[in-house]
Amino acid sequence: MTRNPDETRARLLGAAFEEIHRHGFQGASLTGILARAEVTKGAMYHHFASKQELGYAVVDEVLKARLEAAFFVPLSERENFIDGLLHTMAKSMEERGAMLADLGCPLNNLAQEMSPVDEGFRVRVDRLFGWWRDGLAEGLRRAIALGQVRGDIDPEGVALFYLAALEGCIGLAKNARSVEMHARCLGVLAEYVNGLRA
Amino acid sequence: MTRNPDETRARLLGAAFEEIHRHGFQGASLTGILARAEVTKGAMYHHFASKQELGYAVVDEVLKARLEAAFFVPLSERENFIDGLLHTMAKSMEERGAMLADLGCPLNNLAQEMSPVDEGFRVRVDRLFGWWRDGLAEGLRRAIALGQVRGDIDPEGVALFYLAALEGCIGLAKNARSVEMHARCLGVLAEYVNGLRA
DNA sequence: AACAATACAGACCGGTCGGTATGTTTGAGA
DNA sequence: TCTCAAACATACCGACCGGTCTGTATTGTT
């Protein structure tokens, strides 16, 4: 058996991400994570000090990378900011719509479950939400300067509201197990976003 | 020791609600619930068949009553629907703002945690969300007929979006542990709601 | 080749979990 | 007053939890 510590670590992170996404952090058992990763307990405790530290690493590494791929990258694929924003919504809908309606947003799931329970999770998730929000607000500010977006709006407030609405749509759709509800909710959000154009 | 089965049951429901609100259903231990309720395990298993059934009863009874008190009642305290809606937001903000920014919305917490894990919870929570959404949509339809709200909107879609945004605001504020963020997010939502006026 | 240090493997541990079995007390109806 | 079901109380159970411990195999270093 050839060894590959980096791959072992990556497999643990991937398996932990999926188990946590499905069962929540508290509901995810170490045994389940290890089985999915096909890694033994000894290996896992060699790479991570505890289940908690493994969870933290999932936020810092896996969730961060996913957020970048799902938001920042597609956003930059359009010249116009509003077009870019609508593009991120459409793309995530077609690429991960079923998954989102089924299991919800991994980041927000963790936020809702862990923020009252574990400060370490709360801070880490808050960092990612802050990054996301700042990206939105900054984009809005630039778009206002470029005359793409109305100048009478508060960029920070709208960024916050957009994020809230987006996560809310995913959350409701997840509870209803309905991609159709997800699409419908995003449709109204898209109207709101279009209403921001100058 | 005088006996009072109804009160015992009510105490169990109340304690379960609070423990679940703080730790989530999976994270809430029976022991903790029993300690808070000052009720023994025997008494609890006399009134409820399992922890799951206790949780179901919390949704069907406690959460339902709270939703009625927090939404349907204040909504009907204003003639104009938009005024009523803003009134529910203001009232819940001032009466439960700290609690919401701390622990979030009990109904949505349960939705996010349990819907992928337990179909019984999912269905029950979905029932309450449906009730809420229908109340909003029906109110919007009547308000349109009364000329209070623009006629070019889709009542069901807006109702869904409003609910999503509201829950999203609470969720983000909870993760940030910030009543100020909660207020700010609700402020933008209030602008949106005001924009619905005819 | 010798030696560490790293990377695992897996048995084992104490504790807590939800749940049960059995016994006792209480109070309403006959 | 007697009876019996309802309303509790408590000791206990097996399962599973996260975590540890000891041992072993692999790999880079000298």
Backbone angles phi, psi at A39, to 5 degrees: -135, 145
* Chain B residues close to A185, C-beta within 8 Å: 157, 160-161, 164
B60 domain-assigned: yes
In a domain, B32, yes or no: no
Kindly give the residue spans of alpha helices, DSSP state H, lying in B104-154.
106-114, 119-145
* Cβ–Cβ contact A111 with B under 8 A: yes
Residue of B172, B191, B193, B196 to mutate when probing chain A, most A C-beta within 10 A: B172
- Indicate whether this complex's ipTM tops 0.90: yes
Task: Confirm whether B111 is domain-assigned.
Answer: yes
CATH number at residue A158: 1.10.357.10
pLDDT per position as a tens digit, A35-68: 999 999 999 999 999 999 999 999 999 999 999 9
Instruction: Report pLDDT digits (tens) over A115-170.
Output: 999 999 999 999 999 999 999 999 999 999 999 999 999 999 999 999 999 999 99
φ, ψ (nearest 5 deg) of residue A171: -60, -45
Residue A4 lies in a domain: no
**Consecutive H or E run containing A135:** helix A119-145
- Position B17 scores a pLDDT of 98
Predicted pLDDT of residue B114: 96
| Residues ≥6 apart with Cβ < 8 Å to A182 | A93, A97, A100, A101, A169, A170, A173
Check whether A1 has a pLDDT greater than 80. no
pLDDT interval class at B181 (50, 70, 90): very high
Number of domains forming the structure of chain B: 1
Q: Indicate whether B13 belongs to any domain.
A: no
A47 touches strand C (CB under 7 A): yes
What value does the mean pLDDT take over residues B158-174? 98
Residue B180 in any domain: the answer is yes
Q: Are B118 and B26 in contact (CB under 8 A)?
A: no
Residue B89's closest CA among B197, B196, B198, B188?
B188
How confident is the model over B130-142, as a mean pLDDT?
Answer: 98
Note whether residue A10 is domain-resident. no
Instruction: Kindly report each contact of residues B126-133 with a partner whose C-beta sits within 8 Å and lies 24 or more positions away, as own/partner.
Output: B126/A175, B126/A176, B128/B59, B128/B63, B128/B64, B128/B67, B129/A172, B129/A175, B129/A176, B129/B163, B131/B64, B131/B67, B132/B67, B132/B71, B132/B163, B133/B159, B133/B160, B133/B163
- Measured between beta carbons, the chain A residues lying within 8 angstroms of B175 are 111-112, 115, 122, 125-126, 129
β-bridge mates for residue B197, sequence order: B149
Query: Does the residue A175 lie in any domain?
Result: yes
Render pLDDT for B13-61 as a digit per residue (tens, 0 to 9).
999 999 999 999 999 999 999 999 999 999 999 999 999 999 999 999 9
Range of the domain at B91: 53-194
